Amino acid sequence: MVATLATGAQAATASYPDVLSAKVRPRGGDVFDFDVSVSSPYDTPQRYADAFRVMGRDGTVYGQRILDHDHRTEQPFTRDLYGVKIPPGVRTVVVQGRDQRSGYGGKTVEAALPGR
């Protein structure tokens, strides 16, 4: 499943990376794999998108991918996060990007979990 719905409550700002899409695949049980596309307008060695996270609507963080370098020559870029365990009652997650300097923010994507 590919989700591309950005939440209206979190408008894009120039100081944060934006999550453009999230592809979710069930792995079995309560475990899911994610392919996340991110756009980072401040992609420099001093300031770049250095992580994204998968969380519940209540803010509970289920998984995070740390990015070790800038992606200035690859915009937008897609990275994976495998093996995210999500409790059975959760049907939708929010994917959010993080800027090296400003922290988490920017456009998010809500993704429905397949099979739930």
What pLDDT, on a 0 to 100 scale, did the predictor assign at position 43?
56
Three-class HEC string of 47-108: ECEEEEEEECCCCCEEEEEECCCCCCCCCCEEEEEEEEECCCCCCEEEEEEEECCCEEEEEE
Map out the domains of the chain with their CATH numbers: 2-112 (2.60.40.150)
What pLDDT, on a 0 to 100 scale, did the predictor assign at position 14?
56
Single pTM value for the model: 0.84
- What are the C-alpha distances in Å from 74 to residues 17, 68, 85, 98? 14, 14, 29, 17
Comparing 45 with 104, the larger pLDDT belongs to 104
Q: How confident is the model at residue 6 (pLDDT cuts 50, 70, 90)?
A: very low
pLDDT digits (tens, 9 = 90+) for 57-92: 999 999 999 998 777 777 799 999 999 999 999 999
Comparing 105 with 48, the larger pLDDT belongs to 105
